[in-house]
Amino acid sequence: MSCADPSLWPLAGLRVRAGNIELRPPTDEDLPALAALVPPEAGHDPSLPISGVTTPGEVAAQAVLRQIWRARAELAPTQWRICLAAYVDGVLVGQQDLMADDFPRRRIVETSSWLGAEHRRQGHGKAMRALALHLAFEGFGAVAVESQSAEGNDAALGVTRSLGYSPSGDTYEVHDGVVTHMLWSRLTRERWALHRQGYGLAQVECEGVDACRRLIGLPPVEASPVNNGKRIQPASA
């Protein structure tokens, strides 16, 4: 049995695909290709303890590995990050992650993504985010999906604009000692329902969602109360 076997690690069976694009959790065998593809501008969580490397490319590669290892090890209902490798026609093009804090109560997902430099401006960034939105809203019952992009990151802002997000505020964060103005965007479930037909995606198919829901503290879809994605306040909240 390998760690890519869903009976050992349920997340391994997750698949979200539409037409020729597919998101799936990277296996250990996929990691060298991800590390080779990630560009320095992908950015990474500054809390990752990068060490022993110096060039921007080496830092980015180590950050991808540590981020994926950390996400696997620390996944819990209270806080999770699901890292998904993105493939177009079977070719690895980038990574699309979904993150949440206290999701069973807040029902809000944040996303983060990057593409290899040669795979940009072909609609892949929009398509893989659209698949992540499908997983968040349809698979997990999110009420909103949020995204933050540095001011001036026109590509990332182009993706959110194109998918119907609304501006939702801004923050100032320190990245590598530099203050960066971060612009936040939010897509509510209602706006997603209005805009999704215009995403240009083929029919979305998901596999392995129930096993994934169990890992993040949600009941299987068929056992969920019908709630139209609205928040269900636990009795103790």
Ligand X SMILES: CC(C)(COP(=O)(O)OP(=O)(O)OC[C@H]1O[C@@H](n2cnc3c(N)ncnc32)[C@H](O)[C@@H]1OP(=O)(O)O)[C@@H](O)C(=O)NCCC(=O)NCCS
Binding site for ligand X (CB under 6 A): 41-43, 113-115, 120-126, 149, 153-156, 158-159, 162
Distances (CA, A) of 83 to 17, 112, 170: 15, 9, 25
Specify the residue, 15 or 119, whose C-beta has the smaller distance to ligand X.
119
Q: How far is the CB of 115 from ligand X (least distance, A)?
A: 4
Distances (CA, A) of 38 to 32, 47, 89, 188: 10, 18, 19, 30
| Residues 191 and 144: beta-carbon distance below 8 Å | no
Cα–Cα dist 83/69, whole Å: 10
* Residue showing tokens 């706006």: 191
SS (H, E, C) 164-205: CCEEEEEEEEEECCEEEEEEEEEEEHHHHHHHHHHHCCCCEE
Q: How far is the CB of 59 from ligand X (least distance, A)?
A: 14
Cα–Cα dist 107/14, whole Å: 20
Q: How far is the CB of 21 from ligand X (least distance, A)?
A: 11
Specify the residue, 143 or 159, whose C-beta has the smaller distance to ligand X.
159
Specify the residue, 89 or 222, whose C-beta has the smaller distance to ligand X.
89
Contacts of 183 (CB under 8 A, 6+ apart): 148, 149, 150, 151, 157, 167, 170
**CA atoms within 13 Å, Cβ hemisphere of 225:** 6
Specify the residue, 63 or 209, whose C-beta has the smaller distance to ligand X.
63
Specify the residue, 14 or 127, whose C-beta has the smaller distance to ligand X.
127
Minimal CA–CA distance to 209: which of 15, 7, 9, 79? 15
Specify the residue, 153 or 168, whose C-beta has the smaller distance to ligand X.
153
Q: How far is the CB of 76 from ligand X (least distance, A)?
A: 24
Q: How far is the CB of 39 from ligand X (least distance, A)?
A: 6
